[in-house]
Amino acid sequence: MALKPEASIGTALAVSAVVYAIHSNATPTQADIRVGSPNDETIDKSERAATIASIGVVAGISLIAKDPTVFIIGGAAAVFLAWWTRYNNAINPLIGKPSMENASIKAVPATAPDDSDDYGAFADVA
């Protein structure tokens, strides 16, 4: 037995507010995410944890209420907030656009070592 339409929408909006509260407490603010290093693993892990918790809350409340509207609106809120956090985490603050670089991976030049150097400290060793 599903909820009445007026109760269904109110419950769905309340579940969306709970999803927003979970995301806002589990992740840094969107402004802090956007100006930080792009593709930060810590932010990615906290976003995933918040999304999993949000989906669990949405599924639980929609099963208790036996109402698909709660699931659809609450699930849409969880998906939107997960996308929003991932998008802001991908922004490189230097160029203001999404970047594929990873904060934990630094580029190393692909040059071969030069064996002709005497390495300074080992110059006297024959």
Query: What is the mean pLDDT for each group of 10 consecutive residues in the chain (126 residues)?
Result: 84 96 95 91 95 97 93 96 94 84 54 58 59
pLDDT of residue 4: 86
Give the per-residue pLDDT at 18. Answer: 97
State the pLDDT at residue 63: 94
32 burial type by CB count under 10 A (0-12 exposed, 13-18 middle, 19+ buried): exposed
What pLDDT score does 93 carry?
86
Q: Which residue has the tokens 């995933």?
A: 48
What pLDDT sits at residue 87? 93
Give the pair of three-digit tokens for residue 99: 């970047």
> Model's pTM, two decimal places?
0.74
Residue 92: phi and psi, rounded to 5, are: -90, 115
Cα gap 12→8, rounded to integer Å:
6
Rg over alpha carbons for the chain, rounded to the nearest Å, is 24
Separation between Cα atoms, residue 38 and residue 34, nearest integer Å: 8
